[in-house]
Structure 1
């Protein structure tokens, strides 16, 4: 078997390594002259990952334990380079080689990949399978703003590199994602006299690490990465099918989290978020991607924060001293209707509270930065192939084209794409080798976020639920007895209390790895130990007990239903015999 991997970002690299580990002949095509993808070529000054290194690292190659929880983008690119060297991947990578076309073999067996390297002649090669790993962040998406030509300078965030591009200018940031928040903050630090952040529908702010609040005067300094707080047992592992498909655990956690946020910060629309809130029907874990870049929030909140009265004596959220001492503001605005000939923004009247303030502010930007995301451009793919939006089976492939996979084309609400890509690569490799079966259609999709009809992003997943689902498909989801018997109590507790780290799905089963137990007992156990007693009660024991009861009740109802149906069947059979 010979497989082509398209794209040299983390998804492509881990797919290449996974295929090679099963003695599959694989070749990776990368258009740029270096690996790293978005993390190298769409990076900017002071950018760092919002997902923790513990979650983002690949299962069998970890970052140093003494390195910070959240690394910079250059540090992550260096990690990917070390990954390539460690697993000797470079000899399987064709750098500066752009894929021109992918087309099916007319005989129905395999695919032809036509590529071109450094303006040389085009080369066409035959492959049995294709993994497309070009990712979600490729072609900039730039919406039309009437009158944008009246602004002296405007560009997409993919072209933003440093503060020098915006220093001392009036800046309008279009968008409210993590990049938008970063650039708005950078504009404040670049002494821009006016910074405005315009959004369409709001965001949900949550820090990438829990810290900066006081309870009864005692400061919490744990800085726990939030992507490592969701426990496995009874929330992603051993979940009854009716609980899983109803998303009940998501809605329950939303109910609890909103009240905890109000207690800690005085507002429940986000963690210390006082403006830019999502509409109520979209506010929750089932609907939205958390915005974990919170550096700009002190400047966004400043005109809107209200006094908490006596509650401030109980709990208090504290901004970083440098930001708290500043008097600068990031104005929040609804999406602009147009830009007038003199360069002034015109906003459509809106019921949102931020409009009540911005309507009295003259917004005349010198620079507009489009932080409006990306789209996928797969014009080199033959039109007979399904696109990522058609990859209905686990968001990886279409059953009619199982030899064509999309790796890394989902986005988690909380979590990271690289570890998901690793799990997808193991899943697809198992399918290619005939060691797992493609799931039935009725089993698809209970891990998907509940996107609205008009939502731009419809490929959102719950990280933990999705990882657990893929692991179950390929026999890599460990049983509790199996774990205890193979690795002992320490590993078992880490699996139950830990998050959906990819390493946990390599402890036993077809993808078991010799280092998995040591990583679990060391680095991953540390993520649990750092929570402390109270943290493990709040994020471990109590959720496990609650969801355990829910799952137990669901199982009991199912068993009673089975017994009742069996009794009814026997009764009906008896009545039928008497009638005869």
Structure 2
């Protein structure tokens, strides 16, 4: 076939996997990575970072973890070594251009009128709609940095949503960081420091960490290790969320409760028929009971009631909203010892010597405030387009869900895919099968439906996500329906979606990446 040029932007996990599968189809992709190494968020993290997902779910389908990694939750260094071994094994590295920052991409005929031809496109082996992408790349390895324009027939965006554009809270005039005499940084800046420098940065300081998800927890633990109760670290957070004390509530591995086909029969699904809808309704009491079972286990393991931290929502809601985090070992012991203080408040403000908690007359004195407040991933995605029209299509709603068919293709943006922008229990797992689906699309084996059909499917998934997570809906999250989602991709590719041997095994055994090793 006539070989077309595929450009992949980003060499994190999604970018490396996308490159590997493009190579497998005989393509010659170019990958542009702004940093000096692969890995994305895993390339540089704080010292104590570990994988939060059980490694059996966080592995490549055709490249299992090496036997010498015996921990269930590997360290950052082990994850990075694993990714580098994968890239080396499949000869991906020669396709990557490091220190090359993509400034913007522009469709040469930047018009939405191409939508009709895009909807009829059935793969890179066929006639692609008119136009090409201009990819404007700044190479920082040259002196001075040089800019070059590359042309692409297809662009795969693997830019990630958890880096680069920090989410900074807004404050009324006179109540923001500008009035504070100490240091204010985002967790992104803290993570970028060398480990020794990070320790020196917080040593002997009164530190406030804003945010109670994974990164905020890890930073608070590091600060408490360095300073102890002499200079306690204060965590300021808005809402109580369920935190996992372990992955086997009452001795039952979590994967048997939430990551097999039977567990997915208990929930309504986008595109389900009458019988599946009826079954989900009939089994809803069991779904409720399983959630309560997990909650009672967590409350028996963690002193949530003592610290008034029992969440209002169910465990299942947090799971389906991708808002779960594993609690670091020894966390509440640090709280009991006075090394960590907890402050819950919907808002706060700065004053010259620290912060003021909304509704609390006692100020919190601080030398350093670290904002572990997440990232503006959707803005990052918007900013890469020269065309404002495409930017508006990406940000169609304020809930940070990008409208993508199969969580990959925007119906009205031709010759472009987005990988790794929706979450699941294992982002590596879903990114890999999505890349396999994408290269089958590029090869003409997968056929896109019409724009209207794609938009209807997107709407169905959007409605499901909003209903399943309720008011806690923030972004695209597949957790709880991972198998159902994979089934759609398998059917598109002509694979058998049932990957186990036998009816009962397929119903009750947990699914994982190795089940998809072969088509």
Equivalent in the alignment of 1:382: 386
Aligned match for 2:169, one of 123, 126, 143: 143
Partner residue in 1 for 2:118 = none
Q: Does 1:450 align with 2:466?
A: yes
1:333 matched to 2:336? The reply is: no
Local SS of the residue matching 1:98: strand
> Any idea what SS the aligned residue of 1:13 has?
helix
Counterpart in the other structure of 2:435: 425
Q: Distance in 1 between matches of 2:220 and 2:101?
A: 34
Structure 1 match to 2:212: 176
Matches within 5 A, 1:169-318: 169-192=205-228, 193-207=231-245, 209-210=247-248, 226=254, 230-236=258-264, 241-242=273-274, 252=285, 255-261=288-294, 263-266=296-299, 273-274=304-305, 275-280=308-313, 284=317, 285-295=319-329, 297-299=331-333, 302=336
From the superposition, tell whether residues 466 and 105 of structure 1 become closer, same or farther in structure 2 (CA, over 3 Å): same
> Are residues 25 and 344 of structure 1, via their aligned partners in 2, closer, same or farther at CA, if it must alter by over 3 Å?
closer
2:422 to 405, 410, 418: 410
1:534 match: none
Alpha carbons 1:168, 1:191 under 8 Å: kept:
yes
Matched, 1:95 2:98: yes
| 2:66 pairs with one of 49, 64, 67 | 64
Cα deviation for residue 248 of structure 1 reads 5.2
Report the Cα distance in structure 1 between the residues aligned to 2:74 and 2:314, rounded to whole angstroms: 34
Distance 1:164 1:467 in 2: 46
Partner of 1:476: 495
Structure number with greater CO (CA < 8 Å, separation at least 6) is: 2
CA distance in 1, matches of 2:217, 2:287: 24
Which residue of 2 is the match for residue 167 of structure 1?
A: 203
2:262 is paired with a residue of what secondary structure? coil
Provide the aligned length of Structure 1 versus Structure 2. Answer: 452
1:60 deviates by: 0.6
In angstroms, what is the RMSD of aligned CA positions? 3.3
What corresponds to 1:540 in structure 2? none
Alpha-carbon distance between aligned partners in 1 of 2:516 and 2:57, rounded to the nearest angstrom: 13
For residues 277 and 242 of structure 1, the distance between their equivalents in structure 2, rounded to whole angstroms, comes to: 37
Shift in Å, 1:12:
0.2
Quote how far apart the aligned CAs of 1:465 are.
3.7
DSSP 3-state at the match of 1:400 = coil
Matches within 5 A, 1:549-568: none
Bigger mean CA deviation after superposition, 77-86 or 59-68: 59-68
- Structure 1 residues 381 and 291 mapped into 2: Cα distance closer, same or farther (>3 Å)? same
Deviation at 1:65, TM superposition (A): 3.2
8 Å contact 2:58–2:513 — kept in the other structure?
A: no
Consecutive unaligned residues of structure 1, counting only runs of 5 or more, are 214-219, 303-325, 350-358, 513-580
Question: How big is each residue's C-alpha offset from its partner over 1:277-321, in whole Å with a ceiling of 9 and x where there is no partner?
Answer: 44348972444521223436414874xxxxxxxxxxxxxxxxxxx
> By how many angstroms is 1:205 displaced?
1.0
Alpha carbons of structure 1 residues 243 and 347: separation in structure 2 relative to 1, 3 Å:
farther
Q: 1:179 to 1:134 in 2, by over 3 A?
A: same
Q: C-alpha distance in 2, partners of 1:188/1:228?
A: 35
Task: State whether residues 237 and 468 of structure 1, in contact with CA within 8 Å, keep that contact through their aligned partners in structure 2.
Answer: no
Q: Distance in 2 between matches of 1:102 and 1:16?
A: 19
Q: Tell me which moved more, 381-390 or 241-250.
A: 241-250
1:152 matches 2:178: no
Stretch of structure 1 that moved more, 183-192 or 291-300? 291-300
- Contact 1:464–1:499 (CA under 8 A) maintained in structure 2: no
Q: Deviations over 1:177-224 (max 9, x none)?
A: 11111112222222242222111233221135337x7xxxxxx6x9x5
**1:438, distance to aligned residue in structure 2 (A):** 2.9
| Shift of residue 370, structure 1, vs aligned partner | 0.4
- Provide the rounded CA distance (Å) in 2 between the counterparts of 1:33 and 1:292: 30
Out of 50, 53, 56, which is 2:52 matched to? 50
Tell me how far apart the structure 2 counterparts of residues 32 and 266 of structure 1 sit (CA, whole Å): 42
**Structure 2: any 5+ residue segments left out of the alignment?**
110-128, 192-197, 396-400
> Would the alpha carbon gap of residues 27 and 155 (structure 1) be closer, same or farther in structure 2, given more than 3 Å must change?
same
Q: Which has the larger radius of gyration?
A: 1
Q: Is the 8 A contact 1:477 1:505 kept in 2?
A: no
Change beyond 3 A, Cα 1:98–1:360: closer
